[in-house]
Structure 1
Amino acid sequence: MASGHRAQFSSRLGFILAAAGSAVGLGNIWGFPTQAASNGGAVFLITYLIMVFVLAYPLLVAELTIGRFGASNPIRSLMSIAPKQKLLASSVGIAGMLGVSGILSFYAIVAGWFFGFLIGPVLSVLGFESAAAWLEGFGTARNIVLMLVFMLLTIFVVRSGVTDGIEKWSSRLMPVLFILFVSMVAYTLLQDGAMEGLKMYLVPDMSHFSPDLMVSAMGQAFFSLSIGVCTMMVYGSYLRKDADIPKTAAQVALLDTGVAFVAGLLILPAMFVAQNNGVEIYSDAGALLDGDTLVFSVLPAMFDTMGGAGLIIGIAFFALMVIAALTSSISMLEVPVSCASEELNKDRKTVVWWIGGAIALFSTLIILNFGSMFGLVISVTTEYMQPILGLIMALIAGWIWKRNQVLEELSQGNPELKDSLFWKIWPTYVRVVCPILMALVFLWPVLK
């Protein structure tokens, strides 16, 4: 099915860093620690890890395989494996595009906040106190301006294409992100109060376990690994035929999960360091205060207690967050851009402005109706659309796509795959076990 002129990642490492860049983002560093802090720490961590490897990984393999087989945008790739169900295939592709655009619309807002907290301290040191206060306050005008700046950065990378844009920038930014991350964790764990946060994060208290926690953990796993909204399908379409998809998907999942785990090692101990320094984290009833803006209240408070070093560490942290956000946002914008440029036969550099502009308009609408729309858009896209679309893709890959075609596609990267344990388990697992497990997770809160 592959077209000879299809753009490709130039190396396997380039793909892994780009796919991990897509997966490693605010979902890991903003979303995961916030969810963990709200849901009992270690219990959420364990449930999340189970969801990643029991549900998200098998579906990641399915999405990458569909993408590489179709070697096109999600609509055409899904049609290529389900030629008799074109309406279903195109509907899932369009829903994935809408889902990923919805995620990017709130993502750009949050990424803009991080951008403000990156620039604010620098302006403060230079004596521009009022500008710094404006950038670090949660005002409507400030939110719109910062969101637009972040969207422009994303558009700039995506308009350059796969090798010169996505791969080049992901390969540069991801190593920097990891170095910053590990350095900050080491520093935070040496502060007073950090061990209390570490205990909450690593020692499970099963009284926090609930059906709702399972749904949150599943949504977080799908959001974190970019499952269900065609991102990985698009990246799969740029993957070389000699790549071993199950192995590559496992490396992406491990890298992504490792970053989420390390993010928890940073944020949860930092919460208790801040609490030790007088910052309120939990209400009297034990509920987490300001969940969505947790890292913006907790971490700057911790950095303030560090004197001169705190300024440098604070700038480094928010630089890390902007890098993580950008490597994810470029993968999200790539989904509708690749679809529109191929289906409408339009130039990528024109399409990226139209689609980026439309998403920025919707982001502005969310900002203007923040109280009613922000949480709603997050919930609809990450807790419901992603898992439901992931489930539909599992059913398409398991029940509609011919098994000999799947084996042939996967064997191109691993000729011995037919006799492997993976092939003995995965086809039936995606076909039967994944849909049943996902249905149970969804229905449990309803039936409890």
Structure 2
Amino acid sequence: MSNRDQFASKIGFILAAAGSAIGLGAIWKFPYMAGTNGGSVFILLFILCTLVIGLPILVAEFMIGRRGQSDAVTSFKKQAPGTRWYFTGWAGFIFSSIILSFYSVVGGWILSYIVRAVAFKLTGSSQDYYGELFNSITQNPWEVVIAQGAFLFLTVWIVQGGVKNGIEKASKWMMPLLFVFFIVLVVRSLTLDGAMEGIKFMFVPDWSYLTGKTLLMALGQAFFSLSVGVAAMMTYASYLSKEEKIGSSAMNVAWLNIGISLLAGLVIFPAVFALGYSPDQGPGLVFIILPAVFQQIPFGALFMIIFFILLLFATVTSAIAMLEIVVATAMGPKYDKRKQYSWLCGLGIFIIGIPSALSFGVLSDIQIFNRSIFDFADFLTNSIGMPIGALLVAIFAGYKISRADAASELDTKSWIFTTWHILVRFVAPIAIIIVFIQGIFFK
């Protein structure tokens, strides 16, 4: 065990785990989900679902990972010897690989926008201009594949440095910068004429949106944004020393995730309303609407550069968590071979991701169950992989690990532990099954 890397500090672990959670889910997906589901009511339900259902699963992943002190597969083998629970670890390995394969495509789009923004080539001010630009980028086979490769290169470069000198170091400077950039953009957004409409949209409830559909969307977003169900948090927690409190770390990660999601809303919605756009633009909100918004405000080009760098940081911190699961599992106990495994796994994921990168252009005619390759990979992981993974984690933590062992590992007040145990044994599994059914049959 002595030559296995560990996080050097609790804050390093929290920032890395929060970075895993705070990615495209918080900055790209949360605003458009809130925008298409009524704003304030969705946000309220999202916070509730994160704390009541997402947080207990997060604690469970932390507990399993820290108890195992190994990659996810080995962790399950150690804690449930002679059983097939270790397949849960392999599922995390497979689904993380698929997530990163299409996630890196979006990371590539962000790099394409940054290059154009820095060269001051994002000069249009209309929604149509940015819609055409987005289509031209995503349909250019050379650009999307090269940009995807560049994004993965950056991700591998960080992961191959190890936990302490790679992941922790990168998270310690990227995450604070993320907050600083966000505060700058929030201040700019809130000082626009008409920004108050966006504030109302976020914080004054329209109870007509309090429906089963909105609740399910909020629940799905809570799972997606916390990175639970694919062994990411389990893998990070395996590098955590036994002295650290799991519960408080998980709570910090959950609140940081909620905070960043709200800040993303405060950047986007006041600006969107102030300039007369509709908030229900869907996935194109960040790549099509926001650039048009930025170009209509003083120093907009500068703020656009800041926004896309911020988006890149958030995407990279999530990507390194996904790659770390794959590398840790492939590497096993060969800790001295981290560099070789990092580059090999990165190359493999790059190759797997090429069809997703090309699915908006040359491979756009290929459909899998009426979905593009990119959308199918997204559906497979978010609607099937993550819910199943989260359900297995809840069952393992709630039923396979004894109550006494769980209480000893979590080391918290008895009423807090009892509440967590009830939520992870009964409430979370039911909620996950509902999300799973909804994701499969009602989309």
Would you say same fold, with TM above 0.5?
yes
Q: What's 1:394 paired with?
A: 394
Cα contact 2:7–2:163 (8 A) shared by 1: yes
Matches within 5 A, 1:43-82: 43-82=41-80
- 1:335 aligned partner, one-letter code: I
Q: Distance in 1 between matches of 2:333 and 2:373?
A: 31
Q: CA deviation at 1:104?
A: 1.2
Question: Cα deviation per residue 1:258-310 (whole Å; 9 max; x = unaligned)?
Answer: 11111111112222234x2xxx547xxxxx34x22211111111221124x11
Q: 1:181 to 1:75 in 2, by over 3 A?
A: same
Cα contact 2:189–2:271 (8 A) shared by 1: yes
1:423 is aligned to 2:417 = yes
1:92 is aligned to 2:83 = no
Matches within 5 A, 1:132-281: 137-138=137-138, 139-274=140-275, 276=276, 281=278
1:101 is aligned to 2:91 = no
1:40 is aligned to 2:31 = no
Structure 1 residues without counterparts, runs of 5 or longer: 128-132, 283-287, 412-416
Cα contact 1:121–1:311 (8 A) shared by 2: yes
Q: 1:126 to 1:100 in 2, by over 3 A?
A: closer
Number of residue pairs aligned between Structure 1 and Structure 2: 421
| Helix, strand or coil at the partner of 1:4 | coil
| Helix, strand or coil at the partner of 1:347 | helix
Q: What's 1:348 paired with?
A: 338
Q: 1:214 to 1:377 in 2, by over 3 A?
A: farther
Q: 1:123 to 1:444 in 2, by over 3 A?
A: closer
Q: Distance in 1 between matches of 2:39 and 2:87?
A: 38
- Choose which of 17, 25, 43 in structure 2 pairs with 1:19: 17
Q: Distance in 1 between matches of 2:167 and 2:135?
A: 28
Question: Cα deviation per residue 1:185-218 (whole Å; 9 max; x = unaligned)?
Answer: 1110111332222222222223234433333222
Q: 1:43 to 1:379 in 2, by over 3 A?
A: farther
Q: 1:245 to 1:181 in 2, by over 3 A?
A: same
| TM-score (norm. length: structure 1) | 0.88
Cα contact 2:4–2:335 (8 A) shared by 1: no
Identity of aligned residues (%): 39
1:300 is aligned to 2:301 = no
Q: CA deviation at 1:126?
A: 12
1:403 is aligned to 2:403 = yes
Q: Distance in 2 between matches of 1:144 and 1:214?
A: 37
Question: Cα deviation per residue 1:49-94 (whole Å; 9 max; x = unaligned)?
Answer: 1110111100111100100100000011112222242x2x221111
Q: CA deviation at 1:150?
A: 0.5
Q: What's 2:315 paired with?
A: 325
- 1:420 aligned partner, one-letter code: S
Q: CA deviation at 1:384?
A: 2.9
Q: What's 1:130 paired with?
A: none
Cα contact 1:220–1:382 (8 A) shared by 2: no
Q: Distance in 1 between matches of 2:359 and 2:234?
A: 32
Cα contact 1:215–1:383 (8 A) shared by 2: no
| Helix, strand or coil at the partner of 1:141 | helix
Q: What's 1:434 paired with?
A: 428
Q: What's 1:368 paired with?
A: 358
| TM-score (norm. length: structure 2) | 0.89
- Choose which of 309, 312, 317 in structure 1 pairs with 2:302: 312
Cα contact 2:194–2:273 (8 A) shared by 1: yes
- 1:97 aligned partner, one-letter code: F
Q: Distance in 1 between matches of 2:271 and 2:382?
A: 26
| Helix, strand or coil at the partner of 2:252 | helix
Q: CA deviation at 1:340?
A: 0.3
Cα contact 2:19–2:171 (8 A) shared by 1: yes
Q: 1:160 to 1:430 in 2, by over 3 A?
A: same
Q: CA deviation at 1:356?
A: 1.0
Q: Distance in 2 between matches of 1:193 and 1:410?
A: 48
Could you say what the CA RMSD is over the residues aligned between the two structures, in angstroms?
2.3
Cα contact 1:394–1:430 (8 A) shared by 2: yes
Structure 2 residues without counterparts, runs of 5 or longer: 124-132, 365-371
Q: Distance in 1 between matches of 2:384 and 2:194?
A: 37
Cα contact 1:395–1:435 (8 A) shared by 2: yes
Q: What's 1:9 paired with?
A: 7
